[in-house]
Structure 1
């Protein structure tokens, strides 16, 4: 944990675990794991972003991922997430099998098997993109078989009235960084206006469907991560978000963080092919608007932490600036 955080303020650790002392935070996680599964023998990795995740080797030989969630995550929501994830695993879908959940500090920690089969790939590779679109369609179909998922409900994007909700990440202060972001906010407002008439059906879908969250083998997704990103929302929103974020790989660097309009349209077409049904014109319009809104959100996050007015060519802001309003018509 100390090696990963370096000189950064342990904001998430303090919020979720109630302490900014790294030794105390690590001890809390280890104690929780020992109480729930088995004693910790070794730590393979640690990352801290919206949540905190550690790869652990247990005394009984198991390798698990322990994720400490934001204090706002409820037991009901995480329990439902694990039920859906277990159903996917039972159906041989490429996701880690959930193992347990416990309370730790001010938050819940979930445990799942640590799967590292396959390799990371570039989302701009057309075969990778097609595999991601097909895997998302399979996920939505299989999750539709799970009953009683209302705990995953969030206010549909089509009902959102405030332009931006409070970000779960403490580094993104949208209110304090409005200056210079007016053009981003205007595109987001237009997207929300279009989404007022979104006819999309409600489904359970993964809202952070980016290449950085998965590995690949034999031309298919071999494992996908971050299942607390499941929500009950419109399929058009799920697909629109994915069509815009699928190439994102912040941690890798050296790759464009946005798809071209052609890549975005291809992702939707590949999802439709796997779904075996085309979206209606109204649904495609909503998908495009949801994609613009997601692009605007990503650009707004970048703007909130930017240390200069220069916009890097690989950034989400660059992609949004390059195409802007044209993205609303990309699926026509």
Structure 2
């Protein structure tokens, strides 16, 4: 990406906040947010993250900084989040290297569960203002009218394109989730394999701390058990037996067993991101990769969720 293609305000922001000007673009990625890897004139490499300002960023950055201080493998924030043209912007260390851990077998699920258990244990030592509202793909606890949280880029499209089984699955899963009486905790709500890097068989880095959420532990674990295997390409839903292995291993690593209610909530939560992704596919006329997997697994997961 040429420097000329950076947002007009970004070079000046780097001078103001980092004391240096960008001279090269190492990488650029855009989705819901934008991420720019930049080399500054003094030779330092940094990552600048830009996303819609929802008031969540300060809490997410505070938690990320605390984990980095404690030695957890994640990038250290180097600026606070500031609002630029309605966008929350911050810079953090560039932490390159490592490779995704591919695969969706139960054995791979156990390795991811070990990381998630460590991450959740670390976050119990962190106190921040809850980062609300929760990330939009995990926002089953929204207070907007209707089934889905308000997401203009999706809501403006023809909703009749969304298959009935996707809507039904989302309705049943959300009803079960909302009926829970479990305390909320801080956790990572985008625990996809694409956000982790491994080196020589060991965890190297966990990325995307903008996606912290404030939800019951069982719901956060459930979402992770369904999405951990998304390492490349369009997201999908992990095999049922691998999600089960993830849930069992997580409890083993945390040293406590979930209650019946917690297990049901975990299974219900495993469906919500998949339903969100299946809706996205349908509204964008994309191949139904997640939708097909959801259709195959929904009833089994709903049954385990008592939904």
Same topology, TM > 0.5:
yes
2:15: which partner in 1?
34
Q: Secondary structure at the match of 2:7?
A: helix
Conserved 8 A contact 2:225-2:247 = yes
CA RMSD of the aligned region, Å?
2.5
Q: Which of residues 294, 298, 323 in structure 1 aligns to 2:297?
A: 323
What are the superposed Cα offsets for residues 1-51 of structure 1, whole Å, 9 maximum, x if unpaired? Answer: 57xxxxxxxxxxxxxxxxxxx947533212211211121121111111000
What are the superposed Cα offsets for residues 69-95 of structure 1, whole Å, 9 maximum, x if unpaired? Answer: 11x332xx3122111101111111111
Q: Which of residues 146, 149, 152 in structure 2 aligns to 1:165?
A: 149
Cα displacement (A) at 1:258: 2.2
1:45: which partner in 2?
27
Cα displacement (A) at 1:249: 3.1
Q: Secondary structure at the match of 1:100?
A: coil
Distance 2:124 2:14 in 1: 31
1:133: which partner in 2?
113
Q: Is 2:271 aligned against 1:297?
A: no
Conserved 8 A contact 1:265-1:330 = no
What are the superposed Cα offsets for residues 296-320 of structure 1, whole Å, 9 maximum, x if unpaired? Answer: 111111111115xx64xxx111111
Q: Which moved more, 1:83-92 or 1:158-167?
A: 158-167
Q: Is 2:60 aligned against 1:81?
A: yes
Q: Which of residues 194, 204, 227 in structure 1 aligns to 2:176?
A: 194
Q: Is 2:246 aligned against 1:272?
A: no
What are the superposed Cα offsets for residues 230-273 of structure 1, whole Å, 9 maximum, x if unpaired? Answer: 1111112211111111111344x7xx832111011111112111
Cα displacement (A) at 1:198: 1.7
TM-score, normalised relative to structure 2: 0.88
Cα displacement (A) at 1:282: 0.9
Q: Which moved more, 1:26-35 or 1:93-102?
A: 26-35
Distance 1:52 1:32 in 2: 15
Distance 1:210 1:64, change over 3 A: same
1:19: which partner in 2?
none
1:97: which partner in 2?
76
Distance 1:23 1:173 in 2: 33
Aligned length: 300
Cα displacement (A) at 1:151: 4.2
1:119: which partner in 2?
99
Distance 1:126 1:218, change over 3 A: farther
Distance 1:83 1:136, change over 3 A: same
Q: Is 2:232 aligned against 1:262?
A: no
Q: Which of residues 109, 127, 131 in structure 1 aligns to 2:89?
A: 109
1:69: which partner in 2?
51
Distance 1:326 1:138, change over 3 A: same
Runs of at least 5 residues in structure 1 that lack an aligned partner in the other structure: 3-21
Cα displacement (A) at 1:149: 2.3
Runs of at least 5 residues in structure 2 that lack an aligned partner in the other structure: none
Distance 1:156 1:278, change over 3 A: farther
What are the superposed Cα offsets for residues 198-222 of structure 1, whole Å, 9 maximum, x if unpaired? Answer: 2433111111100011111243321
